[in-house]
Amino acid sequence: MAQSESSSPKKEVILRGVGASPGVAVGPALLMAVDEKCFVEREISADEVAGEIARFEEALIKTRRQLHEIQERVSSAIGQSSASIFDAHLLVVDDRSFVEEVIRGLEEEHRNVEAVLYGVAERYARALSQVDDDYLRERAADVRDVARRIVRNLAGVSPGGLDAVEKPCVVIAHDLAPSDTATMSKDKVVGLATDLGSRTSHTAIMARALEIPAVVGLHDVSVRVTQSDQVLLDGSKGILIINPTPERLAQYNRTVEKQRSIRMELARLKEEPAATLDGRRVVLSANIELPSDVDAVLEVGAEGAGLFRTEFLYLTRDSWPDEDTQADVYEEVARRLAPAPVIIRTLDLGGDKFLSHMKVPAEENPFMGWRAIRFCLAQPDIFMTQLRAILRASRRRNVKLMYPMVSTLDEVVRANAFLEQAKNELREKGIEFNEDLEVGIMIEVPSAALIADVLAEHVAFFSLGTNDLVQYTLAVDRVNERVAYLYEPTHPAILKLINNTIRAGHDHGVWVGICGEMAGNPLMVPLLVGLGIDELSVSPSMVPMVKRVIRSLQFEQAEKLKEEALKADSGLAVAERCRELLADIAPELLEFVA
């Protein structure tokens, strides 16, 4: 880790945000443009028109090449049908009327190409969005996306998705959408820093899954950093340092070596069980989002997949995936992880995860709107296709099924009725499936936690989704850095809801797991063990740390912590007590805790 040479070293600047994914990263900053209007509009002379046309044509060539490369990578990773989503983008780049209108605008308006391109793209997009044809209306988004990519190429900044990163760097952005991180490679993206976000935002979750250090919630990092800056990022402490001094780099070199040594020791626990010193066993599994994540699960010795998010099958294509496509993916994951269990969560679209081809009206509060199980119950054809696919994969005998965002008993009853219908359809066709498939629900809404005793009569297991449970209980947007201080997993209300869910489940013979970020926080693990949790499902990268905590703990210590926590009137007091216990049993892990 060496500071880039400079004739006059720039001043070191320290920014503080939210530590989202542990680890240290050093490298040149790669600034991701925020949107297509990230340029200064200016007038040009007649003599400059030819040069602007040449810039435009060069950017078109670069954009076309990038789109073809993305298609090839997506096709190799998840199939040609998914890669075809970029066909419409290529049609825009190759549309001669579009290109010629931009050139004509340059010649007539005498403004720089970015300004002309933006104006032409907006006219096209507005016209398309108003026609009485679903397909053509959807192309408006394609025009805007392509214009954004062209303008970014004109500006010389990364053109949107992280697939275009060519050299190791620390990516700096205002925010990153799921599509931005879909093809992210940790060989090239060594760190992430964003203005927005929290520990439970999509960016944070993906960074931890890929073991990429990340700091989010930095407010204005995207305008404080320039492309020429060297940056140092500490994802454990939530710090980003612009143009670090040689002394600072030397200090962090020592930190990196220390953390590497700790991780090597943790890796030795791969074959050991997740059990307390006095024999209390906890199932330790992993959350996965892509079939390729199975490699990481096997590498760290996790006990299967406690949460298999299925949205990627839908978000990476421009049409609904069919039953065969889904069944093949689910069964392959189950085959590779057998005999360990794989809990497949049914589609959790909604909130910020709707598709361009979905005819969904805008909602004022989408995170509490038409999403997850609500969406599936209202779209029986889509839901039934997924249920049949999961049932077909269940012939492997290690597959379990889970419904997200349940808030009422009626939702569970109706979902189970659809499941029975799917079973009947497969029976009629003579297709094999597991008749004893275990069905569970996610407890991530306060109403579900409060009626857990009622819900337990209809399911085999609960999985606490603590990210949303905290958000909905405390009325705090978990991706809004302005209210991040209110996002408190140790709040007395949260602990009482978790405790109620576990007790209700156990009273009815239902096992209870946690698949939210709370499960992967070394500070929280002793408390969760004390509360009586049966399973913890975490990002694969966090499995060794969580196992280390469990194997260093006496169950008596965990129970004592639970009793203290349930009597506390302050979430901060509980968090401090958790930190004290971790310092006693596994002090080296404090290196990775913000």
* Catalytic center residues: 202, 515
How many whole angstroms separate alpha carbon 165 and alpha carbon 40?
25
DSSP 141-198: HHHHHHHHHHHHHHHTSB-SSGGG--S-EEEEES---HHHHTT--TTTEEEEEESS--
> Residue 542 to residues 120, 461, 521, 549: CA-CA distances in angstroms?
48, 23, 8, 11
Q: Can you list the positions of beta strands (E) in 394-481?
A: 399-403, 439-443, 461-464
DSSP structure class, residue 516:
S
How far apart CA 386 and CA 366 sit, in angstroms, is 23
Listing DSSP states for 75-138 in one string gives: HHHH-HHHHGGGHHHHHHHT-HHHHHHHHHHHHHH-B-HHHHHHHHHHHHHHHHHTSS-HHHHH
Structure tokens at 290: 């892509």
Residue 509 near residue 489, CB atoms below 8 Å: no
Residue located via tokens 């940790």? 186
Enclosing H/E stretch for 345: strand 342-345
| Residue 14, both tokens | 């320290």
CA–CA distance, 177 with 25 (Å, rounded to integer): 21
CB contact at 8 A, 121 and 139: no
Q: Return the SS3 of 481.
A: helix
The dihedral over CA atoms of 284, 288, 291, 292, expressed in degrees to the nearest 10, equals -80
Residue 216 pairs in a beta bridge with 18
Q: Give Cα separations from 47 to 53, 95, 116, 119, 401 (angstroms).
A: 11, 27, 17, 22, 66
Name the 3-class secondary structure at 26.
strand
Number of Cβ within 10 Å of residue 166's Cβ equals: 8
- Torsion, Cα of 217, 222, 225, 230 (10° steps): 70
Cβ 314 vs Cβ 321: under 8 Å: yes
Whether omega before 380 lies within 30 degrees of 0, making that bond cis, reads no
Residues forming beta bridges with residue 464, ordered by sequence position: 443, 514
Give the count of alpha carbons within 13 A of 400, CB side only. Answer: 22
Q: Would you mind telling me the total number of residues written for the chain in this entry?
A: 594
Strands 230-234 and 535-538: unpaired
